[in-house]
């Protein structure tokens, strides 16, 4: 499993105070932290550094966090990064659903407690690790495939088991290659 001191988190928020606070919380928890204030900067840093988790504010000055997430999911080298949306503005359930259906792995509304943020990051790292182990055991270690066109976070309906999408689907035997 990726330990906190080895994990890298990209924190994307255009609000300097919020970005500083989250950076500080993550650093104190032992994470390596990268930061960006715009969506385009986030995409560049994600491509260059391939962080384990991206904490992504929804409301950014250039492109929305929703679009950033969709672009991350569409690119082979960033498709498997864990994405945590955050927002103080987009807090209704329909906005959360939009983010999650767009590919985010989790969604926190601000204000949130530091412990909640760190627990969510740890949870995403555990899930990412379990997914990587399952892919390795099944013989595939590439990024997820098989996304439904037009729905960045959705996957084509498939029976349980390990499929061409590189993910383990509980409740069935893994396919042999």
Res 145: pLDDT: 44
CATH code 3.40.50.2300 for 8-137? yes
3-state DSSP of 26-85: HHHCCCEEEEECCHHHHHHHHHHHCCCEEEEECCCCCCCHHHHHHHHHHCCCCCCCEEEE
At residue 157, does pLDDT exceed 60? no
Query: Residue 11's pLDDT band (boundaries 50, 70, 90)?
Result: very high
Distance CA 174, CA 176 (A): 6
pTM of the model: 0.74
Query: Residue 5's pLDDT band (boundaries 50, 70, 90)?
Result: very low
Better-predicted residue by pLDDT, 66 or 174? 66
Better-predicted residue by pLDDT, 144 or 158? 144
Distance CA 105, CA 53 (A): 10
9: left (phi over 0), alpha (psi -120 to 50) or beta: beta
Query: Residue 57's pLDDT band (boundaries 50, 70, 90)?
Result: very high
Domain ranges in the chain? 8-137
Query: Residue 45's pLDDT band (boundaries 50, 70, 90)?
Result: very high
What's the rounded mean pLDDT across residues 103-119? 93
SS3 95: helix
Sign, CA torsion 124/26/117/153:
negative
Res 160: pLDDT: 35
At residue 155, does pLDDT exceed 60? no
- CA 72 to each of CA 18, 51, 105, 145: distance values in angstroms, whole numbers, following the listed order: 22, 11, 12, 13
Place of tokens 């991206």: 54
Res 22: pLDDT: 97
Q: What is the mean pLDDT of the chain?
A: 80
């Amino acid at each position: 499993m990726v330990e906190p001191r080895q994990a890298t988190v990209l924190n994307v928020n255009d609000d300097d105070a919020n970005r500083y606070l989250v950076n500080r919380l993550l650093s104190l928890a032992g994470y390596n932290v990268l930061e960006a204030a715009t969506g385009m900067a986030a995409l560049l840093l994600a491509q260059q550094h391939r962080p384990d988790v991206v904490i992504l504010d929804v409301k950014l000055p250039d492109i929305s966090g929703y679009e950033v997430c969709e672009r991350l999911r569409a690119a082979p080298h960033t498709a498997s990064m864990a994405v945590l949306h955050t927002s103080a503005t987009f807090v209704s359930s329909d906005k959360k659903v939009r983010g999650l259906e767009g590919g985010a792995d989790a969604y926190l509304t601000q204000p949130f407690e530091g412990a909640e943020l760190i627990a969510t990051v740890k949870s995403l790292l555990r899930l990412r690790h379990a997914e990587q182990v399952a892919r390795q055991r099944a013989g595939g270690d590439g990024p997820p495939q098989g996304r439904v066109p037009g729905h960045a976070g959705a996957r084509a309906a498939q029976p349980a088991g390990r499929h061409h999408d590189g993910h383990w689907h509980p409740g069935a035997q893994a396919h042999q290659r």
